[in-house]
Structure 1
Amino acid sequence: MPETFLNNPQTEITDNFSDLINKQFEGMVNAVCWQRNLEGDFEEIVSKLQLKQNITEISADELLALPLSEKGNIAKEIILNDLKLLTDFGASPSLNLLKKYERDDEFDFISTDVYSYHVDRSPVLTDTFLCTYYGSSSDIIANNQVVQKILIPEIREKLKSLHSGSDEDFENFLSENFFDLHYQAKPNSIPTNLGTGNLWRLAVDHPQQKVLPCVHRAPVEHEKLRLLIIC
Structure 2
Amino acid sequence: MSVSSTKNKQVKFFSTFNELVETPFEGIVNAHCLNRNLVGNFEEVVNKLILKEDITTITIEELEQLELSDNGNKAREIIINDYILLANLGASPTINLLKHYERDTHLDFFPLDVYSFHVDSSQIATDTFLCTYYGASSDILPNDAVTQKILIPEIRTKLKELYEVNENEFESFLEEFYFNLHYQANPDAKPINLGLGNLWRLAVKNPQQIVPPCVHRAPKENKNELRLLLIC
TM-score > 0.5, shorter chain as reference:
yes
- Equivalent-residue separation in structure 2 for 1:147 and 1:197 (angstroms): 29
Q: Does 1:60 align with 2:63?
A: no
Gaps of 5+ in 2: none
One-letter code aligned to 2:96: N
One-letter code aligned to 1:84: I
Q: Give the SS at the match of 2:229.
A: strand
One-letter code aligned to 1:228: L
How far does residue 80 in structure 1 lie from its aligned partner after superposition? 0.5
One-letter code aligned to 2:229: L
- Equivalent-residue separation in structure 2 for 1:39 and 1:47 (angstroms): 17
Q: Does 1:224 align with 2:225?
A: yes
User: In the TM superposition, what whole-angstrom CA distance separates every residue of 1:19-39 from its partner, at most 9, and x where no partner exists?
Assistant: 010111111100000000000
Name the TM-score, length of structure 1 as normaliser.
Answer: 0.98
Q: Does 1:10 align with 2:25?
A: no
Name the TM-score, length of structure 2 as normaliser.
Answer: 0.97
- Equivalent-residue separation in structure 2 for 1:10 and 1:165 (angstroms): 36
How many residue pairs end up in the alignment?
Answer: 231
Instruction: Indicate the residue corresponding to 2:39 in structure 1.
Output: 39
How far does residue 64 in structure 1 lie from its aligned partner after superposition? 0.2
One-letter code aligned to 1:217: R
How far does residue 2 in structure 1 lie from its aligned partner after superposition? 3.3
Specify whether residues 71 and 3 from structure 1 end up closer, same or farther in structure 2 by C-alpha distance, changes over 3 A only.
closer
One-letter code aligned to 1:220: K
RMSD: 1.1
- Equivalent-residue separation in structure 2 for 1:183 and 1:3 (angstroms): 22
Gaps of 5+ in 1: none
Segments of 4+ moved more than 6 angstroms = none
Identical-residue share of aligned pairs (%): 58
- Equivalent-residue separation in structure 2 for 1:96 and 1:157 (angstroms): 38
Instruction: Indicate the residue corresponding to 1:193 in structure 2.
Output: 193
One-letter code aligned to 1:226: R
Contact 1:130/1:199 (8 A) holds in 2:
yes
- Equivalent-residue separation in structure 1 for 2:118 and 2:195 (angstroms): 18
Instruction: Indicate the residue corresponding to 1:119 in structure 2.
Output: 119
